[in-house]
Amino acid sequence: MTRAPNVRRRAAAGCALLTTLITVLTLTACSADDPGDSPGTTAAAPATATAATDSTTTATGTATIDGEPADAAASAISDELAASLTSAADEFGDVEVDLLLLYADHVSLIYVDPSDPGTRHRTELRDSTWSDPTRGPRLDTAPPLPLDAIDPVVVRSAIEATPALLGTDEAQLSHVSIYPDDGGRAEYLVALATGGSLGNVTFGPDGQEREVEAPR
């Protein structure tokens, strides 16, 4: 794992803040020295700032996932997750999650029945139908996640943020992994393929990034 993108973003943010402060101080000094400046001159600074903001927003908004705008793709995947969680509860009852994998065409779920905590069950959801679960021993030490601990809203924001964190404007969804962290809280990993490489970003239960692994 590498956190270099985090360092770069912090450095860029610091430079942008410094530049803004210098600009504001300069404009204030000029206004004090020459009160006769025309209104058109003083209005130029806000117009420039607005243009920069619009440019940043536009650049962020151009990212695509599977050919769709990133926000639209993220919303669709979030809706798919919410439907899958409801369907899992209807099909298997009050189970807990060791691992949930979201793909473009199906969902893979490894869950634990609280009445049998030493056994894990694996199933897949395809075309609105769950496969018959297979059983195996549970070796994980972290407590599994209750279904309602998984937040589709966090998944949506995480997916939408990932292209920018990986420095890509065009990507394909590899998968979204959801599992308990060491403290038993939800952790979300978004993996995107771009230019023949795979990169991923890990997010905590609050949607804040934890780790960035650039495409390689």
Distance in angstroms (rounded) separating the CA atoms of residues 92 and 133: 10
Q: What is the pLDDT of residue 50?
A: 33
Q: How far is the first Cα of the chain from the last one, in angstroms, to the nearest whole number?
A: 11
Average pLDDT value over all residues in the chain: 78
More reliable by pLDDT, 215 or 5: 215
pLDDT, average across residues 202-212: 97
Shared-domain flag, residues 86 and 134: yes
pLDDT (tens digit, 9 = 90+) per residue, 104-130?
Answer: 899 999 999 988 999 999 999 999 999
Shared-domain flag, residues 57 and 69: no
Shared-domain flag, residues 169 and 194: yes
Shared-domain flag, residues 121 and 160: yes
Shared-domain flag, residues 108 and 187: yes
pLDDT, average across residues 4-14: 36
Q: What is the pLDDT of residue 98?
A: 95
pLDDT, average across residues 71-91: 96
Q: What is the pLDDT of residue 61?
A: 58
Domain of 33 in residue numbering reads as: 4-61
